[in-house]
Amino acid sequence: MESLINRFVALIAILILSPILIFVAIGILISDFGPIIYTAKRAGKDGKVLGVYKFRSMRISNKKESKITSKNDSRIFGFGKFIRLVKVDELPQLFNILKGEMNIIGPRPEDLSIVEDHYDDIMMESLTVNPGLASPGSLYNYTHIEDSLDEGNAEETYIKEILPLKVKIDVVYVRNKSLFYDFSIIIKTVIIIVQRSFGKKDFPLPKEYHLAQKL
pLDDT (tens digit, 9 = 90+) per residue, 54-112? Answer: 999 988 775 666 677 766 777 888 898 999 989 999 999 999 999 999 999 999 999 99
- Share of residues in the chain with pLDDT > 70 (%): 94
- Rounded CA gap, 134 and 50, in Å? 16
Of the candidates 114, 108, 136, which has an alpha carbon nearest to the alpha carbon of residue 212?
Answer: 136
Using CB atoms within 10 A of its CB, is residue 92 exposed (0-12), middle (13-18) or buried (19+)? buried
pLDDT band at 214 (very low <50, low <70, confident <90, very high): very high
Of the candidates 61, 106, 105, 57, which has an alpha carbon nearest to the alpha carbon of residue 79?
Answer: 57
Q: Which pLDDT value is given to residue 175?
A: 97
Altogether, the residues listed in the chain come to a count of 215
pTM listed for this prediction: 0.90
Torsion region of 34: left, alpha or beta (phi above 0 gives left; psi -120 to 50 gives alpha) = left
Q: Which pLDDT value is given to residue 147?
A: 73
pLDDT band at 138 (very low <50, low <70, confident <90, very high): very high
3, 181, 191 from 8: Cα distances, Å: 9, 19, 22
pLDDT in tens, 29-41: 999 888 999 999 9
pLDDT above 70 for 12? yes
Q: Which pLDDT value is given to residue 118?
A: 94
Q: Which pLDDT value is given to residue 63?
A: 60
Of the candidates 41, 168, 190, 18, which has an alpha carbon nearest to the alpha carbon of residue 110?
Answer: 41
Q: Which pLDDT value is given to residue 178?
A: 94
- Rounded CA gap, 120 and 126, in Å? 11
Within 13 A of 91's CA, how many CA atoms are on the CB side?
A: 24
What are the residues facing 155 on neighbouring strands?
A: none
pLDDT above 70 for 179? yes
Of the candidates 135, 92, 76, which has an alpha carbon nearest to the alpha carbon of residue 110?
Answer: 135
